[in-house]
Chains A and B, each alone.
Chain A
Amino acid sequence: MLCSISTKKSNSKWLDRLRSSKGFTSQNQTDPQPHFSSSQPTSIKSTVESTEVHGSQRETPFLGDFIAKMFAFGPDTCDFPIKKAPRKMPNPRSYKNGDLDLRVLQRSDDCSRNVVEKKGVFVGGGKVVLEKKRFFEEGGEVVVGKKGFFDEEDEKMDWNLSGFSRTEVSVIDTSYKGWKFEKVLFRKKSVWRVRDRNSKVLNFENNSKTKMKMKTKKRKLSKDEVEVGVCKKKKKKTIDLGECSLAREGTRGEFAMQINDQTYINPMMLLSG
């Protein structure tokens, strides 16, 4: 069950023991809200509402986060005061094929991951379906069904390209007004991902001047190619995976997973924000 907790025995002894082992004084601090007053989700619908939580709706998200913290979903969240997680891994490791190597999925809580595994199907661009078995065998790539799948947010997150071979090609397509293109192909077995070569620059270069140049170039292109439906920049950056989507809202880095019109919050991201 997703992040489900029971509050029937809120003053139970095991909770006290757990609190004391974590450095809390169980009697003096019964209200966890001060610890998490800054992490209240506002824009994302909490899934805890749909679980078997009893009590007021206002309390459940905080308590859910608190329990998540107490049960230490990650090493960074065990100690108090909260330390901000380092932005970079001290020893970067490569994601293996067998891993579920979507970076966001790895950050997400176990509950959300279970739902993904149960669902087991990712749809790329709403066209090509990758079954669960193949999904895990081939390293969790999302199959691109059609062009224009990647948006700017997607480009910044260079996930699930491990194990893919990379090829730059020049393409002629007369159905575009500007008929000449530079594309980057990523291939792994029969799985192809295609993106514009411009996006590569955005992806691998952090130079702000370069970004500005590329944005200007993109804007020019979009004017020229109104007819052919070039992707426009979206305010809400959502990577649509068909039935499953990963959304990132605002600037605080809250990650949520949306499955079947329900959004599952990642408490780790809420805490680290």
Chain B
Amino acid sequence: MAPIRGGNKKRKTDEKDEHNTVLSGSSMESSVDWFMMVSKKIAGHSVTERLSTFEYIFGMSRRTFKYICSLVEEHMTGNFTFSSGMLMSVDDQVAVALRRLGSGQSLISIGESLGAHHSTISQVTWRFVEAIEETGLHHIRWPSTEQEMEPLKSKFEKIHGLPNCCGVIDMTHITMTLPSSQQRADVWRDHMNNHSMLLQAIVDPNFRFIDVFAGMPGKMNEMEMLQNSNFYSLCEKGKRLNGTTLTISEDTELREYIIGKEAYPLLPWLIRPYHEITPTLSEQEAKFNDKINKAHAIAKIALRNLKERWKLIQGPMWRPDKNRLPRSILVCCILHNILIDMEGDMMMNNMSFSGEHDPGYDFTVCESIDHSASVLRNKLAKYLHGKLHY
């Protein structure tokens, strides 16, 4: 016997209505029920003891969640509704956007799990991105004064033994799946044959991003990406990394600098390891490389945790809008910094210190070496070696 036409459809609709009724109309103050229901929907089953923690579901404390809501409150004024027609509160919208950015799941699957149309999920997320851009950008800021820079330099020296170091630079690929009409777009195809967008970040010793440059196509390498960034221009003009110098020998003043891997050029303000293929790497040079590589791991860890925490940019992204993607990347970086600023040690405890942010990717060693930088690097290596044995 044939089933009654539309019977299944009606039953699904009823189930959705039931969920939507539970989720909508909530507020943070009376949020115990709201949170339980959101947790249930996100977890996909009944909330156990372990899952009942807010931190597990959102990856942040209620305090941080509330702070984010306060940041975007004024901008999230759209009348977005669930499929049931119930209005979304600001908390709902923030929860939806965080879910989208954090899980990286498709709009449809998130919409189905939260009882909202996928276009609503998209609009809410984009509104959230725009709001965080406006109100949260101060969380990514280059330390402009000596008072702001000094703690970073001290921490680098304390942990890694590198004096006057201000940050670590690295680049990662945000992989994408492009529509078939753009499959032949060579400019987005990186050297690993994936379509990708690039993110260059400078990271402080607290794993925070202090400079972000995103949006260039995957075809570029580290050096080209760096040279197209404003950070490079500012450093070359002496407007950045121009703070106090440190006397490391009678005739050598060590200026402020950042650390990069071998894919970056050796510059007076960018120190990188010695080329390890060189068979005549001395003990002093090998130990210097060890120090530099350990310090550079900070950038790797930060980028890895960024991608791990905000899976939207972990990739491969399904047919992203390439004009909007850099802004989503920026917002993920801002949220990364907000979590560190708000959570502190708890965030550090949850960090993963192993693995790669760009698994499978290698890089080409940059041959560009500035002579004065090479001299400075030798003197720094000698200084560190002498300090070690002293």
Q: Do A and B come from one complex?
A: yes
A residues sitting closer than 8 Å to B (CB atoms) are 127, 145-148, 165, 167, 169-176, 179-180, 183, 185, 187, 192, 194, 227-229
Q: Are B228 and A194 in contact (CB under 8 A)?
A: yes
- Residues from chain B with a CB closer than 8 A to the CB of A180 are 327
A170 CB contact (under 8 Å) in B215, B236, B239: B215
- Given known A165-B187, A172-B326, contact A147–B228 (CB-CB < 8 A): yes
Task: Give the Cβ gap from B131 to chain A, nearest Cβ, in Å.
Answer: 15
Q: Which residue of B lies closest to A128 (CB)?
A: B227
Task: Give the Cβ gap from A154 to chain B, nearest Cβ, in Å.
Answer: 17
Q: How far is the CA of A174 from the CA of B142 in the complex (A)?
A: 9
- Given known A146-B232, A147-B228, A147-B233, contact A173–B213 (CB-CB < 8 A): yes
Does B98 reach chain A (CB closer than 8 Å)?
no
Q: Are A175 and B327 in contact (CB under 8 A)?
A: no
- Residues from chain B with a CB closer than 8 A to the CB of A147 are 227-230, 232-233
Q: How far is the CA of A167 from the CA of B228 in the complex (A)?
A: 15
Task: Give the Cβ gap from A170 to chain B, nearest Cβ, in Å.
Answer: 4
Chain B interface size, as a band, is: 35 or more
Q: Which residue of B lies closest to A228 (CB)?
A: B230
B137 CB contact (under 8 Å) in A170, A173, A174: A174
Which of B3-11, B47-55, B217-225, B304-312 is found at the contact surface with chain A?
B217-225
- Residues from chain B with a CB closer than 8 A to the CB of A192 are 220, 224, 228
- Given known A145-B227, A179-B137, contact A169–B215 (CB-CB < 8 A): yes
Does B234 reach chain A (CB closer than 8 Å)?
yes
Task: Give the Cβ gap from B317 to chain A, nearest Cβ, in Å.
Answer: 15
Q: Are A170 and B326 in contact (CB under 8 A)?
A: yes
- Residues from chain B with a CB closer than 8 A to the CB of A169 are 215-217, 322-323
Task: Give the Cβ gap from B366 to chain A, nearest Cβ, in Å.
Answer: 12
- Residues from chain A with a CB closer than 8 A to the CB of B137 are 174, 179
Task: Give the Cβ gap from A225 to chain B, nearest Cβ, in Å.
Answer: 10
- Given known A146-B233, A148-B233, A229-B237, contact A172–B186 (CB-CB < 8 A): no
Q: Which residue of B lies closest to A168 (CB)?
A: B323
- Given known A147-B228, A229-B237, contact A172–B322 (CB-CB < 8 A): no
Q: How far is the CA of A173 from the CA of B333 in the complex (A)?
A: 12
- Given known A167-B187, A187-B187, contact A175–B142 (CB-CB < 8 A): yes
Most central of A170, A171, A174, A176 by chain B CB within 10 Å: A174
- Can you list 13 A-B contacts with CB-CB less than 8 angstroms, sorted by A residue number? A127-B227, A146-B227, A147-B232, A165-B187, A167-B217, A169-B217, A172-B329, A173-B212, A175-B211, A175-B213, A175-B229, A187-B219, A228-B234
B216 CB contact (under 8 Å) in A145, A146, A171, A176: A171
- Residues from chain B with a CB closer than 8 A to the CB of A146 are 227-228, 232-233, 236
Q: Are A174 and B212 in contact (CB under 8 A)?
A: yes
Task: Give the Cβ gap from B30 to chain A, nearest Cβ, in Å.
Answer: 38
Does B302 reach chain A (CB closer than 8 Å)?
no
- Give residues of chain B (309-326) contacting chain A, Cβ–Cβ below 8 Å: 322-324, 326
Does B140 reach chain A (CB closer than 8 Å)?
yes
- Residues from chain A with a CB closer than 8 A to the CB of B233 are 146-148, 228-229
Task: Give the Cβ gap from A20 to chain B, nearest Cβ, in Å.
Answer: 59
Q: How far is the CA of A180 from the CA of B133 in the complex (A)?
A: 10
Q: Are B322 and A173 in contact (CB under 8 A)?
A: no
Q: How far is the CA of A173 from the CA of B327 in the complex (A)?
A: 10
Does B58 reach chain A (CB closer than 8 Å)?
no
Q: How far is the CA of A192 from the CA of B367 in the complex (A)?
A: 18
Q: How far is the CA of A229 from the CA of B327 in the complex (A)?
A: 24
Does B231 reach chain A (CB closer than 8 Å)?
yes
Q: Which residue of B lies closest to A165 (CB)?
A: B187
Task: Give the Cβ gap from B104 to chain A, nearest Cβ, in Å.
Answer: 19
Q: Which residue of A lies closest to B219 (CB)?
A: A187
Q: Are B219 and A171 in contact (CB under 8 A)?
A: no
Q: Are A185 and B326 in contact (CB under 8 A)?
A: no
Q: Are A172 and B217 in contact (CB under 8 A)?
A: no
Q: Are A172 and B213 in contact (CB under 8 A)?
A: yes
- Residues from chain A with a CB closer than 8 A to the CB of B211 are 174-175
Q: Which residue of A lies closest to B223 (CB)?
A: A128
Q: Are B217 and A174 in contact (CB under 8 A)?
A: no
Task: Give the Cβ gap from B240 to chain A, nearest Cβ, in Å.
Answer: 8
- Residues from chain A with a CB closer than 8 A to the CB of B299 are none
A-contact bits for B332-368, CB 8 A (1 contact / 0 none): 0000000000000000000000000000000000000
- Residues from chain A with a CB closer than 8 A to the CB of B219 are 187
Q: Are A175 and B214 in contact (CB under 8 A)?
A: no
- Residues from chain A with a CB closer than 8 A to the CB of B230 are 147, 173, 175-176, 228
Q: Are A172 and B239 in contact (CB under 8 A)?
A: no
Given contacts A171-B326, A174-B212, A229-B233, 16 further A-B contacts (CB under 8 A): A145-B227, A146-B227, A147-B227, A147-B228, A167-B217, A169-B216, A169-B322, A170-B322, A171-B215, A171-B216, A172-B329, A174-B137, A175-B142, A175-B213, A176-B230, A185-B216
Q: Which residue of B lies closest to A127 (CB)?
A: B227
- Residues from chain B with a CB closer than 8 A to the CB of A228 are 230, 233-234
Q: How far is the CA of A165 from the CA of B182 in the complex (A)?
A: 14
Closest 4 CB pairs of A and B: A171-B215, A170-B323, A175-B230, A172-B326
Does B69 reach chain A (CB closer than 8 Å)?
no
Does B121 reach chain A (CB closer than 8 Å)?
no
Most central of A127, A171, A227 by chain B CB within 10 Å: A171
Does B37 reach chain A (CB closer than 8 Å)?
no
- Give residues of chain B (162-187) contacting chain A, Cβ–Cβ below 8 Å: 185-187
Q: Are B229 and A173 in contact (CB under 8 A)?
A: yes
- Residues from chain B with a CB closer than 8 A to the CB of A172 are 212-215, 326-327, 329-330
Task: Give the Cβ gap from B329 to chain A, nearest Cβ, in Å.
Answer: 7
Q: How far is the CA of A148 from the CA of B224 in the complex (A)?
A: 14
A-contact bits for B190-232, CB 8 A (1 contact / 0 none): 0000000000000000000001111111011000100111111
